[in-house]
Amino acid sequence: MTAHPDRTVLRGGTVVDGTGGDAREADVEILGDRIGVIGDIPAREGDDVVDCRGRLVMPGFIDAHAHADGTVFRPDVQLALLRQGITTVIGGQDGVSYAPGDGVWASRYFAAINGPHPTYTGGGVAELLRTYDGTTPLNVGYLVPAGTVRHAVMGMARGPADAGQLAHMQRLVADGLGSGALGLSTGLDYVPGIFAGTDELAQLCAPLAAAGGLYVTHMRGGYETNTAAGLEEVVAICAPGAAHDGVRGHVSHLHVDADDAERLLAGAAASGADLSFDMYPYTRGCTLVSMAVLPPQYSALAVDDAIARLSDPAERARLLDEWFPTVAHKPSLGPDWPSMIRVGHTPATDWAWAPGRTLAEIADRRQTSVEEATLDLLVAGRMEVNAVMAVRDERAIENLAQLFAHPGHTGGSDGIFIGAVPHPRAWGAFGRFLGTYVGRSFTWDGAAVHLAAHTAERFGLVDRGILRPGAVADIAIVDPATVADAATYDDPQRLARGIDDVFVNGTHALRDGELTGALAGRGLRRSPSPSKGTT
């Protein structure tokens, strides 16, 4: 553990404070977990001095969408995040995570996305947040996952909630908010969120409206050409109505052409909706293989039941004859789907060679059809298989840059740390934001806003995301000449460059590019109702 000095001084750097104002040369004083003076600070015996000359002193970045709920305790994950300047991750995403409840269902269903939590066995949001206090060098915020709430109350019921079930779900949401959750998340392409109607979701937002929490959604329909319908539902849920007086909304991992996005977001704003969004700087996505290639009802099955069905010769024959021919017509895949799905993770030791290979390559190695190989892969991995999804046309940097410049944008990685060959966004997203999109989407001052200050404001993290006296000392020290991502699709776990010193809650968590061993991270509890932001 690193001893905490009486005072730390970050000397001689250029302060980019997150207000959107001009950068300035200044020293920064850290006293305990807070920022003291920003200015010309005289030397004092006993100071821990960090030479920041030639570097930018920026607010620690906040990853608005991360799947590190269970993996943030791993040193390799901690190093990957801190080397990107990330000091806080927001978990509980896509409507599925551990609390409320004992976490068993979520750990199984999202085994290839979040993985298991090493210590949480129940107790709700309050207990889950306590598992992050002093056990990791990073802060973790949490959203009440609506799918987990629905599963706890209704299981995999496909019908609408009755009045008693709805009231029970509202109580669980309110309890989670009262325990410190930052808002509510939905995953409307995952189960059981896919079964929840618009009216039900609006009702679940009533506790959010009262508490000032944020509604965060993986929209229904897979984005891209379906973005308009997805946003229409978000507006219907967030707009003032019978269920509540209006709730702030946030769209997870937006995927759509920049011109279309700007038009749709402008329309949503004109309707009165207060929306923001996160987006990562890559075109390819990552998902569960079962979700991409199997009938939707398979996602609602318990793992043992799904494996039994996939192992049944009659069911396999039906899938091969009737279902798989339709996969080629899915808008997100098309006829080239075997070469577009590249396996990232399987727990099956006999298939340890599969990550990094496409389904077509796997079938070729096994000398069988791609459909048979896919079913064998899912059975061997007990459905715990994820994949990086290629696209027919990579979106141009200029197109992505246009969206990142939108005032509603916040930085998010959608990082998944499960797998031998994961998506590089987990290791590289924020390095890429800084190394590629500063100068295209925003200035350094704008980067501090998009990657820290705006995110803190939207999620209600008061005194974070900004450098000012009295604010929490979450700080990233950035070399503007060298900062960049290094992770690639072929080598996705390469650490980002150009950020070697990071402070979390005033403690030096990353020094000279290495973990210090200090565990000063916290489970972040929601602050009092934030004011509405500008999008």
105-126 pLDDT, tens digit per residue, is 999 999 999 999 999 999 999 9
Answer yes or no: do 452 and 306 share one domain: no
- The answer, yes or no, to whether residue 532 has pLDDT greater than 50, is no
pLDDT at 490: 96
216 band by pLDDT with thresholds 50, 70 and 90: very high
472 forms beta bridges with 34
Answer yes or no: do 308 and 414 share one domain: no
Answer yes or no: do 400 and 446 share one domain: yes
What's the rounded mean pLDDT across residues 407-427?
98
- Give the dihedral sign, CA 356/359/364/367: positive
Residue predicted with more confidence, 5 or 498: 498
- The answer, yes or no, to whether residue 344 has pLDDT greater than 50, is yes
pLDDT at 3: 44
What is the rounded distance in angstroms from the CA atom of residue 495 to the CA atom of residue 410?
22
Answer yes or no: do 242 and 384 share one domain: no
Three-point CA angle 199, 202, 203, nearest 5°: 90
What is the rounded distance in angstroms from the CA atom of residue 407 to the CA atom of residue 240?
23
What is the rounded distance in angstroms from the CA atom of residue 408 to the CA atom of residue 277?
6
Three-point CA angle 514, 58, 67, nearest 5°: 60
Please write down the long-range contacts of 175-178, taking CB distance under 8 Å and 24 or more positions apart: 175/100, 175/124, 175/125, 176/99, 176/100, 176/124, 176/125, 176/144, 177/144, 177/207, 177/208, 177/211, 177/213, 177/526, 178/211
- The answer, yes or no, to whether residue 197 has pLDDT greater than 70, is yes
At residue 453, what are phi and psi to the nearest 5 degrees?
Answer: -65, -45
Token couple for 199? 């009216």
pLDDT at 359: 98
Answer yes or no: do 412 and 269 share one domain: yes
Q: Is residue 403 part of a domain?
A: yes
- The answer, yes or no, to whether residue 533 has pLDDT greater than 70, is no
Averaged pLDDT score across all residues of the chain: 95
pLDDT at 528: 60
| Domains contained in the chain, number | 2
Contact 342, 357 (CB under 8 A): yes
The amino acid that residue 496 corresponds to is: A
258-280 pLDDT, tens digit per residue, is 999 999 999 999 999 999 999 99
Report helix angle 397-404 to 258-270, nearest 10. Answer: 20
What is the rounded distance in angstroms from the CA atom of residue 164 to the CA atom of residue 171?
11
pLDDT at 393: 77
Span of 296-305, 374-383, 450-459 with lowest mean pLDDT: 296-305
Q: Is residue 309 part of a domain?
A: yes
Q: Is residue 48 part of a domain?
A: no
49-105 pLDDT, tens digit per residue, is 999 999 999 999 999 999 999 999 999 999 999 999 999 999 999 999 999 999 999
Answer yes or no: do 295 and 342 share one domain: yes
pLDDT at 6: 81
Q: Is residue 472 part of a domain?
A: no
What is the rounded distance in angstroms from the CA atom of residue 24 to the CA atom of residue 14?
5
- β-pairing verdict for 86-91 and 499-504: unpaired
Contact 152, 101 (CB under 8 A): yes
What's the rounded mean pLDDT across residues 331-358?
95
What's the rounded mean pLDDT across residues 185-212?
96
Q: Is residue 501 part of a domain?
A: no
Q: Is residue 331 part of a domain?
A: yes
Report helix angle 163-178 to 146-154, nearest 10. Answer: 140
445-454 pLDDT, tens digit per residue, is 999 999 999 9
Domain closes at, from 459, 482, 498: 459
- The answer, yes or no, to whether residue 5 has pLDDT greater than 90, is no
286-295 pLDDT, tens digit per residue, is 999 999 999 9
Helix (H, G, I), strand (E, B) or coil at 63: strand
Domain of 268: which CATH number? 3.20.20.140
Answer yes or no: do 402 and 264 share one domain: yes
Answer yes or no: do 96 and 175 share one domain: yes
- The answer, yes or no, to whether residue 341 has pLDDT greater than 90, is yes
456 band by pLDDT with thresholds 50, 70 and 90: very high
Q: Is residue 427 part of a domain?
A: yes
- The answer, yes or no, to whether residue 534 has pLDDT greater than 90, is no
Answer yes or no: do 292 and 282 share one domain: no
Cis peptide before 347 (omega within 30 of 0): no
- Residue range of the domain that includes 311: 287-389
Domain closes at, from 338, 362, 389: 389
Domain closes at, from 418, 439, 459: 459
Answer yes or no: do 265 and 367 share one domain: no
Cis peptide before 192 (omega within 30 of 0): yes
The amino acid that residue 126 corresponds to is: A
499 forms beta bridges with 478
Contact 125, 179 (CB under 8 A): yes
Answer yes or no: do 67 and 192 share one domain: yes
223-239 pLDDT, tens digit per residue, is 888 899 999 999 999 99
HEC-encoded secondary structure of 197-227: CHHHHHHHCHHHHHHCCEEEEECCCCCHHHH
Helix (H, G, I), strand (E, B) or coil at 278: strand
Q: Is residue 10 part of a domain?
A: no
Answer yes or no: do 301 and 431 share one domain: no
304 band by pLDDT with thresholds 50, 70 and 90: very high
